[in-house]
Amino acid sequence: EIVMTQSPATLSVSPGERATLSCRASQSINSNLAWYQQKPGQAPSLLIYDASTRATDVPARFSGSGSGTEFTLTINSLQSEDFAVYFCHQYNNWPPYTFGQGTKLEIK
Amino acid sequence: QVQLQESGPGLVKSSETLSLTCTVSRGSISSSYYFWGWIRQPPGKGLEWIGSIYYNGGAYYNASLKSRLSISVDTSKNQFSLKLRSATAADTALYYCARQKQKTAAPGFYYFDYWGRGRLVTVSS
């Protein structure tokens, strides 16, 4: 089973600034990684797939990068609606599909 | 865009069977480009994949749940369902159903693109 490790667990950033979230896989997953945003009381929403492709209607301030075992989600010019929990998810080696434990992005 | 809706009891007694159904609308469950999955999230915790099924009934399960788990599909109703036997308090969670989209030109790789709102299931003693 591939273990996905996200860091940090909590990230405090001011609106208008940049946030950088990390996700590490326990072995190579090529570029088969997705990022999801989850707001309180809502289902996860797909942001990025194939490590760097934005999903439909996702703003350009969200970008993903990386391959192999190291991945990054960058959010530029943070807006109030961006403060949420972010999960990474690998779909390279399954079953099982696995998720990171999440990074909570909070307002500084 | 496709919509998914979970339904089923919100309270299950310990040792009984947890049963949920996901109804898919604005899209066909019979498309060859998608799997249909179940994911759960215990209160305050992360996401755990439960299992996934293809429209022809082919299914994959999380090994940690396999001995208690059954996932089925009903294409005539555009639904798929989950049954988890011998439920315990550890199965208390928010249960999501989701569509898995095949990576472009790459069979075998599927990411979750649309999710239902989730159904909270509490297992009580």
What per-residue confidence (pLDDT) applies to B44?
Answer: 87
* Binary contact (B47, A89; C-beta < 8 A): yes
Half-sphere exposure of A95 (CA within 13 A, CB side): 18
CB-CB under 8 Å, A92 with B37: no
Q: Provide the b/e sequence for B14-34 (b: ≥16 CB within 10 Å).
A: eeeebbbbbbbeeeebeeeeb
Residue B103 confidence class, pLDDT cut points 50, 70, 90: confident
d(CA B81, CA B7): 9
- pLDDT at B37 exceeding the cut of 90: yes
Closest CA relative to residue A47, chosen from A79, A6, A82: A82
Q: Which residues of chain A make contact with B118, given a CB cutoff of 8 A? A: 43
Express as a percent the part of chain B with pLDDT over 70. 100
Q: Counting one residue from A and one from B, how many pairs have CB atoms under 8 Å apart?
A: 63
**Separation between Cα atoms, residue A78 and residue A82, nearest integer Å:** 6
The CA distance from B43 to A17, in Å, is 30
> Tens digits of per-residue pLDDT, A18-37?
999 999 999 999 999 999 99
- Give the closest-approach CA distance of B95 to chain A in angstroms: 10
Instruction: Say which of A36, A92, A100 has its CB closest to residue B109.
Output: A92
Q: Is the distance from CB of A38 to CB of A32 less than 8 angstroms?
A: no
Binary contact (B113, A55; C-beta < 8 A): yes
Average pLDDT for chain A: 96
Lowest mean pLDDT among A76-80, A91-95, B103-107: B103-107
Cβ distance of B103 and A102 shorter than 8 Å? no
pLDDT tier for residue B4 given thresholds of 50, 70 and 90: very high
Beta carbons within 8 Å of A5's beta carbon, 6+ residues apart: A23, A24, A25, A26, A100, A101
d(CA B58, CA B15): 27
From A46, A87, A95, residue closest to B113, measured CB to CB: A46
pLDDT digits (tens, 9 = 90+) for B38-87: 999 999 888 999 999 999 999 999 999 999 999 999 999 999 999 999 99
Residue B105 scores a pLDDT above 90? no
pLDDT value for B125 = 84
B123: confidence class by pLDDT, cuts 50, 70, 90: very high
pLDDT value, residue B47: 92
- Partner-chain contact B111 A95, CB within 8 Å: no
**Pairing, β A10-13 against β A103-107:** parallel
Structure tokens given for A45: 């929403």
pLDDT for res B50: 98
Question: How high does pLDDT run on average in chain B?
Answer: 95
Q: Residue B110: pLDDT above 80?
A: yes
pLDDT band at A43 (very low <50, low <70, confident <90, very high): confident
Contact: B60, A99; criterion CB under 8 Å: no
Positive or negative, the Cα torsion across B63, B64, B67, B73? negative
